[in-house]
Amino acid sequence: MIELFLNQPNKMEIRVSESISIHDPNEVKIKLLYGGICGSDLLVYQGKLGHAAYPLRPGHELLGHVIEAGEQSPYRVGTRVVVQPNTYCGECRLCLSGKTNICKEKKSLGVNMNGGFSEEFVISSKYVLPVPDDLSDRRAVLIEPFAVIVHAFKKVHIGKDTKVAIIGCGNEGMLAAALANHLDANVTAMDINMEKFDLIRSLGSFRVIHPDEVGDEKYEVVVEAAGSRKAIELAAQITAPGGDLVMIGMIPEATLPITHLVRSEITLHGSIIYNVPEDFEKAMEYLRRSDFHIDPVVSTIIPFWEFNQAYELALSRNVGKVVMSFGGRNNEASV
C-alpha cells in the first residue's frame, strides 16, 4: 500500500509499505476516502508540537469505508465510517465518568502513534462510527473537527441573539462561527488575516473584523480559537460580566486580568477535543441539516500524491480546510 510518512519535521515522503491485515477480532481495515489537514497536523509537520513522536505516518481526520472486518466487529464490509483518533483506556476514573477526552492514557493518531494518511489502515472498531448515507463525503470529513466545536458549545448557552465573539478563524474558528450563526446568535468573528475575510463572510451574514477594531465591546460568550497569547488576553477583556470564555486554542501561558474575571464573575471553560460517541453523533446531526451552511469551510480537495501542494496551501493560512483525496467514491470535485 502507499502511505505518507513523516521521517522528521519538514521531511515527508510517499512510500510503499506492506499491506496489513487485521489480527484482532474487534479490528476493521479501512480504505481511506478523504483525509483532512488539521492545525495540529501542521504543527507536527513543522516540529512545533512537543509531544509528537517521529518517525510516524500523519493524519487523524479520516473518512473511509470498511474493506475487512473482524468477527467481533459491529461493522460490515462496505460500511462508511469516520475515525475517532484519540485512544482511551476505558477503565480510569475519568473514562468511567464519560470524560474519555482527558484520559491520562490517551494517545493520538498522527501525533504520538501512526495516523491514517495511507490507502488502507487497521484500527479497533472501538474507534470508528458509521456515517449516515445522506451525508456527503465532503461534509462527512468535517465530523471529527466539528465535534470539537460541538463539545465546546455544550459548555455554554448560545441561542437567538446571544452576543458571541469568535477569536481566530482557522478551521475550528470557522466551524464555531458557522454553528453560532446557525443557532441564530449575534456573531462577531475576528481574525488578523484580512485576506480570509471574504471566506469567513461566506459562512453567514455576521460581522467579521480585525481584533484591533473591537473597541470597548463586550460579548456574552467568547470562543478563543486562535491559540495565541494576544488572543486569549483579548478574549478575557471582551467577555461581558457574567459571561463565558471558552478556550479551544492552546498557548503555554498568558497574563489574565484576575481581578476583572473575579469581580465580573466570568466563567472560564477549557475544552479539549470531544467525548464519544455523543459529540460525533451531534456533529453528524447538524451536518445532515440542509439549512446548516458549512460547505465553504472545505476550500479544496487535492489528490494525496500532491501532498506538498496540500500542506503548503494549508500552511498559508489563507484558505479553509484542505482535504486530501485517497480515492473518494463520490467523485466530488475540488473547488
What is the spatial distance between Cα 215 and Cα 181, in angstroms, rounded to a whole number?
22
Domains of the chain: 2-147+274-325 (3.90.180.10), 156-270 (3.40.50.720)
Q: What's the rounded mean pLDDT across residues 245-258? A: 95
Q: Torsion angle, CA of 275/250/225/63, rounded to 10 degrees?
A: -50
Q: How confident is the model at residue 27 (pLDDT cuts 50, 70, 90)?
A: very high
3-state class of 328 per DSSP? coil
Query: Stretch 304-314: mean pLDDT, rounded?
Result: 97
Q: What are 334's three cell numbers?
A: 475540488
Q: Where are the alpha helices (DSSP H) in the chain?
A: 39-46, 93-96, 137-140, 143-153, 171-182, 197-201, 229-238, 258-263, 278-287, 307-315
pLDDT at 329 over 70: no
Q: Hey, what's the cell of 55?
A: 518517525
- Entry pTM: 0.95
Please say if the pLDDT value at position 332 is more than 90.
no
Q: Give the DSSP letter string of 78-124.
A: T-EEEE--B---S-SHHHHTT-GGG-TT--BBTTTB----BSEEEEE
Rounded to a whole number of angstroms, the CA Rg of the chain reads: 20
User: What mean pLDDT is predicted for residues 285-314?
Assistant: 97
Grid cell, residue 250, equals 492552546
- 327 — pLDDT class (breaks 50, 70, 90): confident
* pLDDT given at position 335: 33
- pLDDT tens digits, residue range 95-113? 999 999 999 999 999 999 9
The predicted structure's pLDDT at residue 303? 96
- Interval 136-152 mean pLDDT: 98
Task: Describe the strand order of the beta sheet including 163-167 as a list of residue ranges.
Answer: 207-209, 186-190, 163-167, 219-224, 239-247, 267-270
Write the DSSP string, 129-157. EE--TTS-HHHHTTHHHHHHHHHHHTTS-
Mean pLDDT computed over 223-248: 97
pLDDT band for position 77 (50/70/90)? very high
Rounded Cα distance between 36 and 139, Å, is 11
pLDDT tens string 178-229 = 999 999 999 999 999 999 999 999 999 999 999 999 999 999 999 999 999 9
Q: Cα(first)–Cα(last) distance of the chain, in Å?
A: 28
pLDDT-derived band at 331 (thresholds 50, 70, 90) equals very low
Does residue 122 contact residue 316 with C-beta atoms inside 8 Å?
Answer: no
All three cell numbers of 36:
483532512
With bands split at pLDDT 50, 70 and 90, how would you rate the model's confidence at 334? very low
Mean pLDDT, rounded, for 110-139:
97
DSSP, collapsed to helix, strand or coil, labels residue 321 as strand
d(CA 140, CA 202): 20
Residues 259-282: pLDDT tens digits?
Answer: 999 999 999 999 999 999 999 999
Q: Which of 179, 154, 201 minimizes the C-alpha distance to 189?
A: 201
What mean pLDDT is predicted for residues 61-78? 97
Q: Report the pLDDT value the prediction gives residue 333, as an integer from 0 to 100.
A: 37
